[in-house]
Amino acid sequence: MTISRRHLAAAAFLASGAATLGATPTFAQSSPDTAAVAEAVIELTKAMLAADKSKLESLVVDQLSYGHSSGVVQDKATFVDVIASKKTIYKAINLSNQTVVIAGANAIVRHNWMGESGNGDGNWSVSKLGILQVWQKQGSNWKLLARQAFKV
């Protein structure tokens, strides 16, 4: 049998597919904690869009480190104040390609962020970012411990 480039390509394709199937990533495994963290991410997003101070405060730890892609890092008080006082207004936040990995009492969340925000002057800016979040389980609740955005 003569082996053509087509045969080699097909074999390479099948081999790569088999390797991918054999290496199921941790985040693909569903658990109650994984679902709870994913729900906490949704709740945080809703609170940011609504500028809901009490909800924001309840979803983050006192030791919060909230990093922006610009290099600015906020603590809990600053993070909550900037949103609740509408110094930054979020018009839209869309998250995609989210993964959640549970590591003991912590969870690592990664996703893509596409947001529209402004400061109330009618001008909106669009941001497309990669996000890394670390959530910490406190009792039965998951709270944001750290977040870092980066430009993609």
CB 107, CB 37: distance < 8 Å: yes
Q: Is the pTM of this model over 0.85?
A: no
Residue 13's pLDDT is 45
Residue 30's pLDDT is 76
> Which residues sit opposite 116 in a β-bridge?
92, 126
Residue 139: strand, helix, or coil: coil
What structural domains and CATH numbers belong to the chain? 26-151 (3.10.450.50)
CB 104, CB 145: distance < 8 Å: no
pLDDT tens-place values along the chain, 152 residues long: 455 444 444 444 444 443 333 333 344 457 999 999 999 999 999 999 999 999 999 999 999 999 999 999 999 999 999 999 999 999 999 999 999 999 999 999 999 999 999 998 989 999 999 999 999 999 999 999 999 999 99
